[in-house]
Amino acid sequence: MMFRAMLATAAIAAAGATGAHAQTTFPDLPSGSLVQDCGATGANPDICRLREAVPAATLATQLGEARAAVWREGDRLLVAVRTGSAEPMLAGSILAPLAKAEGADLATLVVRIPRLDEALIDVFLVGGEGPVTPQVYRGPKAPPAQTPIPQLRGRVVEETLDSKALGAPRGLTVYLPPGFDQARTYPVAYLADGRSVAFYARLIEPAILDGRVRPVVLVGVHSGQGQQRAIDYLLDWKGSDAGFEAHERFFLEEVMPRAETLYGASRKREERLVTGKSNGGDWALDIALRHPDLFAQAAPAAMARSKAKGVETPGRPRLFVTTGLFDPGITRSRETAARARASGDEVVLVEPVSGHGGLFYQERLVEILAWAFGRP
Residue 101 and residue 24 in contact, taking contact as beta carbons nearer than 8 Å: yes
Predicted local distance difference test score (pLDDT) of residue 123: 84
**Which residues are CB-contacts of 251 (< 8 A; sequence separation ≥ 6)?**
190, 221, 287
Residue 359 and residue 311 in contact, taking contact as beta carbons nearer than 8 Å: no
Distance CA 308, CA 234 (A): 11
Q: Whole-angstrom distance between the N-terminal and C-terminal Cα of the chain?
A: 51
**Which residues are CB-contacts of 122 (< 8 A; sequence separation ≥ 6)?**
92, 93, 134, 135, 136, 354, 355, 357, 358, 359
Asked whether residue 66 carries a pLDDT value surpassing 90, the answer given is no
Predicted local distance difference test score (pLDDT) of residue 65: 87
Residue 163 bridge partners (DSSP): 168
CATH superfamily of 155-373: Alpha/Beta hydrolase fold, catalytic domain (3.40.50.1820)
Predicted local distance difference test score (pLDDT) of residue 159: 97
Q: Name the residue among 163, 172, 83 with its Cα closest to residue 129.
A: 83
Distance CA 136, CA 359 (A): 9
> In which band, very low, low, confident or very high, does the pLDDT at 19 lie, cut at 50, 70 and 90?
very low
Backbone angles phi, psi at 255, to 5 degrees: -70, -55
- Tell me the domain boundaries of the chain: 2-138, 155-373
**CA angle in degrees (0–180, nearest 5) for 318-270-315:** 45
* HEC profile of 164-201: CCCCEEEEEEEEECCCCCCCCCECEEEECCHHHHHHHH
- 195, 196, 199, 202 alpha-carbon torsion, rounded to 10°: -110
Classify 375 as helix, strand or coil: coil
Distance CA 358, CA 279 (A): 12
Which tens digit of pLDDT belongs to each residue from 306-319?
A: 789 999 999 999 99
- Of all residues in the chain, what percent carry a pLDDT higher than 90? 71
Predicted local distance difference test score (pLDDT) of residue 22: 55
Lowest mean pLDDT among 80-84, 202-206, 334-338: 80-84
Predicted local distance difference test score (pLDDT) of residue 3: 35
Predicted local distance difference test score (pLDDT) of residue 88: 65
Give me the mean pLDDT over the 257-284 stretch: 97
> In which band, very low, low, confident or very high, does the pLDDT at 347 lie, cut at 50, 70 and 90?
very high
Asked whether residue 250 carries a pLDDT value surpassing 60, the answer given is yes
Which tens digit of pLDDT belongs to each residue from 194-242?
A: 999 999 999 999 999 999 999 999 999 999 999 999 999 999 999 999 9
Asked whether residue 2 carries a pLDDT value surpassing 70, the answer given is no
> In which band, very low, low, confident or very high, does the pLDDT at 132 lie, cut at 50, 70 and 90?
low
Asked whether residue 105 carries a pLDDT value surpassing 60, the answer given is yes
Distance CA 37, CA 57 (A): 25
Asked whether residue 174 carries a pLDDT value surpassing 60, the answer given is yes
Lowest mean pLDDT among 19-28, 49-58, 93-102: 19-28
> In which band, very low, low, confident or very high, does the pLDDT at 112 lie, cut at 50, 70 and 90?
very high
Classify 152 as helix, strand or coil: coil
